[in-house]
């Protein structure tokens, strides 16, 4: 049971939308209470103290009270220390938020996931000089841990028959079951090399082939768990690539 | 309830933040206490809808195909300032520190609301900025995540056209004593510090 009043809880705003004339409904991820919805009354007034604080990707401490699905936010304080996300890092941040909003059930506490989300944002925000590969690696790590936390952990060390993954064999990753050896070992569409699986297991994304193949695998896994829901942030990535 | 009254209440609900209750209150107020005001409102809405359009050059609201500001010969045609809304344009104008021209996006990219670049008239911006006179495009979108996402997309778009793009700076407000500045602003001001010329 969640207490009626919770003070100074570590949190990040995932999204907010206008509510009534001057308020917001804030979707947030908190360290101890998971994802929740809070009403922030009057924060869209020009002189509201919380107006500029309730910004996504910034570490906050929030205080709320109430029972039920939507509680009342009383206070939010910026914890500092993290530059604002810019450029590509910002788009990656939106992608993380969209995954959490779509896949993480409300009020399901995942302290480790919260920490990992926080670390990923730090990585992204400190990365102004890094290239696309750097961002991809950060996203793949997050996706892998997210699936693990949600109970959809990937099978990366053994194949479906229980044999250890071999680097030079190709596999077909079957949803909710794992990598299955395929007879034809050519790099056909939808298959993945044993090396990529092992690299993903070790969270090592230095190899360009690993980066490409893990992106394809994660994309089909995410599509599977998103169950038809489309991600706006992914579309934005594509629109940017099409310029 | 009369059908006319019902449709008035329904129509008022198109205003942001107006639910069925307040729409009903507004309708009764207009009919009961301010019929003259209601007539003025109706007339004003009608003429606004018929006359106000987007400026072909800067996209702001105007009654002519090209607004007065875009037609003025006292403006510096080499700089173009991109803002989110006409209100933001007015704020920049009030500074009297800028004599260039504008482009008003009439919105921002807000990825998680499904509001993307396709919802802004960016082809028109590209055409405007590529008129051969514009030497620099200044991005003055908000310092929110959405404003930042918009600035990123627009800058990538314009840079591919070979245009020089800059972003307005952020920092401690004029007359701002550090003691009273919010720590987010101060932190960003420290990161974006600049060297003093000797
Ligand atoms: Zn104009």
Domains of chain A: 5-78 (2.40.50.140), 87-242 (1.20.1440.120)
Distances (CA, A) of B22 to B2, B11, B195: 18, 12, 54
| B96-151 tens-digit pLDDT | 999 999 999 999 999 999 999 999 989 999 999 999 999 999 999 999 999 999 99
pTM of the model: 0.90
Contacts of A90 in chain B (CB under 8 A): 145, 148-149, 152
- Cβ within 8 Å, pair A80-B145: no
Contacts of B156 in chain A (CB under 8 A): 240, 243
Nearest to B114 among A20, A91, A232 (CB): A232
* The pLDDT of residue B17 is above 80: no
CA distance A88 to A95: 11
Determine which of A26-40, B41-55, B141-155, B161-175 has the lowest per-residue pLDDT on average. Answer: B161-175
A 82-101 near B (Cβ less than 8 A):
83-88, 90-91, 93-94, 97-98, 101
Q: Per the structure block, which two tokens stand in for A227?
A: 């169950």
How many angstroms separate the CA atoms of A135 and A85, rounded?
A: 12
Rounded Cα distance, B27 and A98, in Å: 40
The Å distance, Cα B81 to ligand 1 centre, comes to 12
- Of all residues in chain B, the percent with pLDDT exceeding 70 is 100
Q: CB B184 to CB A58 under 8 A?
A: yes
Best mutation site among A90, A237, A241 for testing chain B: the one with the most B CBs within 10 Å? A90
Distance A222 CA to ligand 1 centre (A): 45
Binding-face residues of B in 159-188 toward A, CB within 8 A: 160, 182-184, 187-188
Assess A239–B contact: CB distance below 8 Å, yes or no: yes
Nearest residue to B129 (alpha-carbon basis) of B168, B100, B92, B106:
B100
C-alpha distances in Å from residue A113, one per residue of A76, A120, A143, B62, B98:
21, 10, 10, 50, 47
What is the interface size between A and B, counted as CB pairs within 8 Å?
A: 78
Q: Determine the distance in angstroms separating the CA of A83 from the nearest CA of chain B, rounded to an integer.
A: 7
Give, for all 243 residues of chain A, the pLDDT tens digit. Answer: 678 899 999 999 999 999 888 899 999 999 999 999 999 999 998 888 888 889 999 999 999 999 888 899 999 999 887 788 989 999 999 999 999 999 999 988 999 999 999 999 999 988 666 688 999 999 999 999 999 999 999 999 999 999 999 999 999 999 989 999 987 766 677 799 999 999 999 999 999 999 999 999 999 999 999 999 999 999 999 999 888
């Amino acid at each position: 049971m969640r207490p009626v009043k919770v003070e100074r809880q570590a949190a990040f705003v995932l999204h907010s939308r206008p509510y009534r004339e001057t308020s917001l409904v804030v979707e947030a991820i908190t360290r101890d209470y998971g994802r929740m919805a809070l009403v922030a009354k009057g924060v869209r007034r020009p002189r509201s103290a919380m107006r500029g604080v309730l910004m996504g990707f910034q570490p906050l401490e929030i205080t709320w009270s109430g029972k039920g699905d939507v509680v009342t936010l009383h206070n939010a304080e910026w914890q500092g220390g993290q530059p604002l996300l810019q450029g590509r890092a910002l788009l990656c941040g939106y992608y993380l938020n969209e995954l959490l909003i779509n896949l993480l059930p409300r009020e399901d506490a995942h302290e480790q996931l919260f920490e990992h989300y926080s670390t990923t944002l730090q990585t992204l925000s400190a990365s102004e000089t890094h290239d696309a590969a750097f961002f991809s690696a950060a996203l793949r790590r997050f996706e892998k841990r997210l699936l693990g936390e949600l109970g959809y952990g990937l099978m990366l060390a053994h194949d479906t028959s229980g044999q250890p993954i071999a680097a030079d064999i190709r596999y077909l990753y079957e949803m909710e079951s794992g990598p299955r050896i395929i007879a034809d070992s050519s790099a056909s569409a939808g298959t993945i090399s044993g090396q990529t699986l092992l690299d993903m297991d070790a969270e090592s994304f230095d190899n360009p082939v690993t980066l490409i193949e893990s992106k394809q695998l994660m994309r089909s896994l995410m599509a599977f768990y998103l169950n038809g829901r489309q991600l706006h942030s992914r579309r934005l990535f594509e629109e940017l690539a099409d310029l | 309830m009369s059908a006319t009254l019902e449709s008035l209440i329904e129509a008022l609900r198109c205003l942001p933040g107006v639910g069925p209750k307040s729409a009903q209150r507004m309708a009764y107020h207009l009919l009961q206490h301010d019929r003259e005001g209601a007539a003025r409102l109706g007339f004003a809405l009608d003429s606004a809808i018929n006359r106000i359009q987007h400026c072909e050059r800067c996209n702001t609201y105007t009654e002519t195909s090209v607004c007065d500001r875009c037609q003025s010969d006292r403006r510096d045609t080499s700089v173009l300032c991109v803002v989110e809304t006409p209100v933001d344009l007015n704020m920049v104008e009030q500074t009297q520190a800028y004599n260039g021209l504008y482009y008003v996006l009439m919105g921002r990219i807000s990825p998680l609301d499904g509001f993307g670049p396709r919802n802004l008239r960016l082809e028109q911006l590209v055409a405007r900025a590529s008129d051969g006179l514009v030497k620099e495009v200044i991005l003055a979108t908000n310092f929110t995540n959405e404003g930042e996402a918009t600035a990123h997309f627009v800058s990538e778009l314009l840079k591919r056209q070979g245009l020089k793009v800059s972003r307005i700076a952020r920092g401690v407000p004029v007359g701002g004593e550090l003691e009273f500045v919010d720590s987010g602003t101060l932190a960003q001001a420290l990161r974006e510090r600049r060297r003093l010329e000797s």
